[in-house]
Amino acid sequence: MKGNDKIRREYLSRFANRSYFMQGDESVAYGSLYAGCDFFAGYPITPASEVAEVMSAELPRVDGYYIQMEDELASLSAVIGAVWAGAKGMTATSGPGFSLMQENIGYAVMTETPCVIVNVQRSGPSTGQATKPAQGDIMQARWGTHGDHEIIALAPNSVQECFELAIEAFNLSEEYRTPVIILMDGEVGHMREKIIMPPLDKVKIRERKLATGDELLFGGELIPPMAEFGVGRFIHVTGSTHKESGIRDVESQQAHHTLVTRLCKKIADNRDRIIRFEENHLEDADFVVISYGATARPAAGAVLRARGEGKKIGMLRLITIWPFPESKVRELGARVKKIFVPEMNLGQLSREIERFVKCEVIPIPKIGGIAHTIDEIYSALKGEV
């Protein structure tokens, strides 16, 4: 247990079983505190600033540390540094800042540094409609950093779920020693809802697996244990290709192959344990709507309306975006006639779905900073089912 654990438990106990009315951004921050986050470095950006605002107010109260850095490159850098010095670290940003973080996301992947990156997606490219929501970073989250890699990304669709997925994100990052992205959207980030915070001891926390002896820190097993600075291990952490000891070895094809395939495998081989989704009315469905994040809310409304009219339509809500739930989607694609994909972009996830199904995939895109309405999704379905 960390030195500050007692202070943290004592402070968080005041929230147990009480309900609050707050934004998704605020809720994701509280979820992180529950998960044991004790370090946050960030840079303000709409619609993610509220995460930093809560963290700056609350982290010192749980004997953690909040730093406002000079930019998003520095923010994720500081988080990774803090994690190697023993912290559970996170940062929060939106599209422009997320773009700036890409190089260090790759660094976190390569150095197997657990950390959490909240991206409250906003309308892009570039400054776009600065304050308005979007879901345009689905592919940036997957492939934003260079080189072969796997990534974990979660998409909450309610304020309560922001809280829960924050805890899940930290747990996954520790379990798989990898960065985890919480892909919120401005809609979920700024929406206000009632949430109930659980007692801390009812929350399952995955603690960091630390080396107990002189185990290899960068190989030897699929997910090696970590060590923290200052315990006499003389740890060598590098984003360059390295041996299992951590020492750089950039000339050997074999060393690179071994390292990068293991990093991919540790996520890919555990897909079934990582991936979460929610199924509704899929048993008898001939048609299915696949959606995620805030868009899944009007999508669910449209599905209900169509079912009220006797249509055999169901819904799959993705909670895990990456790794992509390919076997579930493949299975659905083999038995339904059409898949509809409403999302606040021009069809990023729908293209991914197409890779795994033979049935027709119909995107229901919407951009411009205003979420889909139930009517809009319903009318897109209507002529097709």
Q: How far is the CB of 121 from other proteins (least distance, A)?
A: 23
Three-class SS of residue 217?
coil
Q: How far is the CB of 36 from other proteins (least distance, A)?
A: 13
Residue 194: in which H helix or E strand, if any?
strand 192-197
CB of 325 closer than 8 Å to CB of 357? no
Identify which of residues 237 and 341 has a Cβ nearer to other proteins in the complex: 237
Quote the distance between the C-alpha of residue 342 and its chain's center: 20
Identify which of residues 213 and 232 has a Cβ nearer to other proteins in the complex: 232
Quote the distance between the C-alpha of residue 45 and its chain's center: 18
Q: Say how far apart CA 352 and CA 156 lie, in whole Å.
A: 19
Q: How far is the CB of 165 from other proteins (least distance, A)?
A: 19
Q: How far is the CB of 234 from other proteins (least distance, A)?
A: 6
Q: Which residues bind other proteins (CB under 8 A)?
A: 7, 15, 18-22, 26, 30, 39, 41, 53-54, 57-58, 60-61, 63, 65, 67, 69-71, 73-75, 77-87, 89, 103-104, 107, 194, 229-230, 232-240, 247-248
Residue 374: in which H helix or E strand, if any?
helix 374-382
Identify which of residues 243 and 307 has a Cβ nearer to other proteins in the complex: 243
Identify which of residues 88 and 266 has a Cβ nearer to other proteins in the complex: 88
Quote the distance between the C-alpha of residue 344 and its chain's center: 17
Greatest distance between any 2 Cα atoms in the chain: 68
Q: How far is the CB of 43 from other proteins (least distance, A)?
A: 11
Q: Say how far apart CA 162 and CA 160 lie, in whole Å.
A: 5
Which of 116, 50, 139 lies closest to 343, judged by CA?
139
Q: What's at 36, amino acid-wise? A: G
CB of 52 closer than 8 Å to CB of 44? yes
Q: How far is the CB of 157 from other proteins (least distance, A)?
A: 20
Structure tokens at 205: 């926390």
Identify which of residues 159 and 353 has a Cβ nearer to other proteins in the complex: 159
Identify which of residues 143 and 229 has a Cβ nearer to other proteins in the complex: 229
Q: Say how far apart CA 290 and CA 145 lie, in whole Å.
A: 26
Q: How far is the CB of 304 from other proteins (least distance, A)?
A: 28
Please report the sign of the dihedral spanned by the C-alpha atoms of residue 226, residue 155, residue 272, residue 323: negative
Q: How far is the CB of 207 from other proteins (least distance, A)?
A: 16
Identify which of residues 56 and 131 has a Cβ nearer to other proteins in the complex: 56
Identify which of residues 125 and 234 has a Cβ nearer to other proteins in the complex: 234
Quote the distance between the C-alpha of residue 339 and its chain's center: 24
Structure tokens at 150: 């796997």
